[in-house]
Amino acid sequence: MNRMGKSTKHIGNEAEELAAAYLESKDWIVLDRNYFFEKAEVDIVATDRNFIVFVEVKMRSGTYFGHPEEFVTPAKEKNIKKAAEAWIYERKMETAIVRFDIISIVQKGNSAPQITHFEDAFL
């Protein structure tokens, strides 16, 4: 539990809800959430025009220790790619054009969340 009494899982779910609502407000279609393959996970799978987009969502309560997007490490990118490959394979969509995005959310206290969307964040 954090100092606000919320578990990490609860905060993660809250961040993913905000991110999904943000994407849907841009007329994206959310296809899947919290897709797991072995120990690899993708937070959100969505469509943006002709792309299948695999989205990593990171949320922090401030930027003192860095911005949320800075916590997407090369190891995390590798896991996301592994899960994305499995998601594509399971749906027989090997010819799909894919992209990897990051949605960074900073939520300070009760203020409105600051959402930053990094398209094509990594290869």
65 has pLDDT over 50: yes
Cβ contact 78:85 at 8 Å: no
**CA nearest 10: which of 47, 59, 49?**
59
Q: What share of the chain is helix, strand, coil (3-state, %, to 5)?
A: 30, 40, 30
User: Which position has the higher pLDDT, 116 or 2?
Assistant: 116
40-51 confidence digits (pLDDT tens): 999 999 999 899
Q: What is the pTM of this model?
A: 0.90
What integer pLDDT is reported at residue 2 of this predicted model? 46
Measuring CA to CA, how many Å separate 94 from each of 36, 88, 98? 18, 6, 10
What domains can be seen in the chain, in order of their start residue?
8-122 (3.40.1350.10)
- Mean pLDDT, to the nearest integer, of 93-109? 94
Report the pLDDT value the prediction gives residue 5, as an integer from 0 to 100.
53
Q: pLDDT, tens digit, for every residue of 16-38?
A: 999 999 999 999 999 999 999 99
Tens digits of per-residue pLDDT, 87-98? 999 999 999 999
